[in-house]
Amino acid sequence: MTEHSLTKEIIEVLRKAPSVALFSHVSPDGDCLGSMLALGLALETMGKKVAFFNPDRVPEALTFLPGSDRIQQLLPNPLPEVLVFTDCTDLKRVTLTPGNLGDSIVVNIDHHISNQRFGKFNWVDDKASACAEVCLTLIKQLGVLMDKDIATNLYTGIVTDSGCFQYSNTTANTHRLTAELIETGLDLTMIHHHLFDQKPLAQVKLLQAALNTLELYADGQLAVMTLTLEDFRQSGAVQEHSEGLVNHARSIQGVEAAVLLKEVGPQEIKGGFRSNLWFDVNKVAAQFGGGGHKRAAGCTMKVSLTEAKKQVIRAIEEGLIVGRAH
């Protein structure tokens, strides 16, 4: 199926549907929530009945997003005939299985290279800086007039997943689309204040704990930090407060790959991987059942923190050696 025919089919499915449920991934970020909310609000302007679902609560820093107070942690019952997943590589990212979806039509909208194409319709653009870019294109093709609420959600998705337009996934098209959003008159100062200027004290204390574990490997090319459940308890932080901490390790001069490993339960470790110029962290994440992008990826490991650290360091050191050889 060509991209043009795929787009036409998705538009037809959404136009015909009287009700739609939208889904976004666990540990929600600005892109998955912004994309889901923007598309859902757009569908409401078309007269659709819309429900929003996420397994986890909305992070405090993202509660300013228009419509975020409507996101539920329980599946809609009954499920509507059309289900739209935004920014989800697979159903596990929404803690669901195919059996949970009944006979509903699944539309999968994403930008991850590791997407599993689990929907009947899969619009996956791995060249887009954010899922919000894809959703913006879809909203425009649906003929929905862009308003400030929709634009605020989409802008948040793009600005967070592009690293404020710093990451290599930022393209000329990213800037063109962002300009269209800014032209709606959205409040840039307010958005950036919520996203970047205010951090809970608990998050700063959690960063302090992570930096205390910072170690360099591979002649300074690999930086690793770890967080235990006790670190979260002592700092008063919750899991969402660890978002973005890995970038402090990535910013060290000479570092190509950075890792944050955090304990989320007994024998359960979540790994966040980032790279700067050339190293493909998606390949590393895939070794441990995860995925993402070339410069940003993650995984979950059912081992101890000590064992996870050992396995990840070995995998990245091997990758760095192979990469340097080429």
Residue 176 sits in a domain whose CATH number is 3.90.1640.10
Nearest CA among 145, 155, 180 for reference residue 45? 145
Q: In angstroms, rounded to a whole number, what is the distance separating the alpha carbons of residues 12 and 120?
A: 13
Q: Has residue 198 got a pLDDT over 80? A: yes
- Domain final position from 135, 166, 196: 196
Q: Has residue 166 got a pLDDT over 70? A: yes
| Phi–psi pair at 305, nearest 5 degrees | -60, -40
* pLDDT of amino acid 109: 98
- Domain final position from 140, 161, 196: 196
CATH of the domain at 311: 3.10.310.30
Q: In angstroms, rounded to a whole number, what is the distance separating the alpha carbons of residues 71 and 74?
A: 9
Sheet holding 49-53, edge to edge: 71-72, 49-53, 19-23, 82-86, 105-110, 121-124
In terms of domains, do 47 and 183 share one?
Answer: yes
In terms of domains, do 192 and 248 share one?
Answer: no
In terms of domains, do 208 and 65 share one?
Answer: no
Q: In angstroms, rounded to a whole number, what is the distance separating the alpha carbons of residues 274 and 189?
A: 28
- Domain final position from 196, 215, 246: 196
Sheet holding 291-292, edge to edge: 215-217, 222-227, 257-265, 268-275, 296-301, 291-292
Q: Has residue 325 got a pLDDT over 70? A: no
| Phi–psi pair at 217, nearest 5 degrees | -135, 175
What is the number of domains present in the chain?
A: 2
In terms of domains, do 30 and 177 share one?
Answer: yes
pLDDT per residue as tens digits for the range 65-99: 999 999 999 998 899 999 999 999 999 999 999 99
Please report how the helices 30-45 and 131-141 are oriented relative to each other, as an axis angle in degrees rounded to 10.
10
Q: Has residue 1 got a pLDDT over 80? A: no
In terms of domains, do 25 and 146 share one?
Answer: yes
In terms of domains, do 46 and 172 share one?
Answer: yes
* pLDDT of amino acid 45: 98
Whole-model pTM: value is 0.89
In terms of domains, do 214 and 249 share one?
Answer: yes
Q: Has residue 20 got a pLDDT over 60? A: yes
* pLDDT of amino acid 4: 76
pLDDT per residue as tens digits for the range 28-37: 999 999 999 9
Q: Has residue 326 got a pLDDT over 60? A: no
In terms of domains, do 188 and 265 share one?
Answer: no
Sort residue 275 into left (φ over 0), alpha (ψ -120 to 50) or beta.
beta
In terms of domains, do 13 and 135 share one?
Answer: yes
Domain region containing 16: 3-196
Residue 230 is given by DSSP the state: H
pLDDT-derived band at 324 (thresholds 50, 70, 90) equals low
- The distance of Cα 37 from the centroid of its chain, to the nearest Å, equals 14
Burial class (CB in 10 A: 0-12, 13-18, 19+), 69: exposed
In terms of domains, do 173 and 65 share one?
Answer: yes
Give me the chain's average pLDDT, please: 96
In terms of domains, do 242 and 272 share one?
Answer: yes
317 vs 4, more confident: 317
pLDDT per residue as tens digits for the range 272-301: 999 999 999 999 999 999 999 999 999 999
* pLDDT of amino acid 192: 97
* pLDDT of amino acid 168: 87
Q: Has residue 18 got a pLDDT over 60? A: yes
In terms of domains, do 174 and 261 share one?
Answer: no
- The distance of Cα 79 from the centroid of its chain, to the nearest Å, equals 24
pLDDT per residue as tens digits for the range 240-256: 999 999 999 999 999 99
pLDDT-derived band at 231 (thresholds 50, 70, 90) equals very high
* pLDDT of amino acid 147: 97
